[in-house]
Amino acid sequence: MMRASVHPSAIIEAGARIADGVTIGPFCHVGPDVQLAQGVELLSHVVVAGHTSVGAQTRIFPFASIGHQPQDLKYRGEPSRLVIGERCQIRENVTVSPGTEGGGMETRIGNDCLLQTNSHVAHDCRIGNNVIIAAYVAIAGHCQIGDYVAFGGMCGVHQFVRIGAHAFVGAHSMIDADVIPYGMAVGNRARLAGLNLVGLKRRRFDREAIHGLRAAYRMIFSTEGTLQERVEDAATLFRDEPLVQDIVSFVTSAKDRAICLPAHMQSEE
C-alpha cells in the first residue's frame, strides 16, 4: 500500500490520523482531531479542522474550509463532529460545518456527493448519498436531504427543512417548506412544480411505478377535501406502490412541518 504523500508546505498537526494513500497538496492545514481515510486527496490550500472524518477516495479542492466552528451563535465550543462519506467531490471555496449540542452534535454527508464551488452545508445537517449541491447553494442548519437529491445553482434552503429522496430543486429557488420525495420545487418561495420525471427516468425507475406515482400525485395535490384526507386515500388506494408510500410516509411524518405545495393550493398552507 502506498504511504501518504504530504507536500513540504502542508501543516499536519500532531494527533491527526492519515491513512495510507492520502495525498495532501501544498499549503494545506490538517487539524489534530481530523481523520483522513485511504485515498483522500486534498489538492492545495485546503483546511480541515475540528473533529472531522473524511471517507475514502474523497477529493477536496483548493480553499475549501471543512469542519471549522459552526456559524451558530449558540455554539459553545462543544466537541461536535463532521462526518463526510466516501468518493465525494468537494469543490473550491466550499464550507461545511460540524454539529452543535442543539442538533445532535453531528453533521453528516453521505457517499458519492458533489458539492460544487462556493456551496455551504451548515451545522447538524444530514445529507444523503449521491446528492448534487450546485454552485452557491446554501443549506441552513438542521436540514435533512435525501438520497439522489439535486439542486440547481444559487438556491437557499431554510433551517430544519426536509427534502425527500430523488427530489429536484430548480436554480435560484428558496426552499422554506419540506419537499416531497420525487418532487420538483421551483421559485422564491418555492412551489411544487410536479414530479422529477427526468431524474426518475435517468435512474431507470420502472415505467409502471412512475405511472402510479403520477396518479397518486394528482390525487394528493388536487383540491377536493383536505390534504390529510387525500394522503390517507392515496395510502389505501396505492398500498402496493412503494414510491407512493414513500410520499405518504414523508407527509404523515411532517407533524408541524409545512409541506411545499403547488401554486394552486396556496390556500391550504
Q: State the sign of the Cα–Cα–Cα–Cα dihedral 124, 116, 93, 82.
A: positive
Q: What is the 3-state secondary structure (H, E, C) of 229-251?
A: HHHHHHHHHCCCCHHHHHHHHHH
Edge-to-edge, what's the strand order for the sheet holding 162-163?
17-18, 35-36, 51-54, 81-84, 106-109, 126-127, 144-145, 162-163
Helix (H, G, I), strand (E, B) or coil at 212: helix
Partner residues linked to 150 by β-bridges: 132, 168
Give burial (CB, 10 Å; 0-12/13-18/19+) of 160: middle
What's the chain's length in residues?
Answer: 269
Residue type at 53 in one-letter notation = S
Partner residues linked to 60 by β-bridges: 42, 90
For the chain, the helix, strand and coil percentages under 3-state DSSP, each to the nearest 5: 20, 25, 55
* Alpha carbon distance 210, 255 (integer Å): 27
Active-site positions? 123-124, 141
Partner residues linked to 81 by β-bridges: 51, 106
H helices within 150-206, ranges in order? 197-202
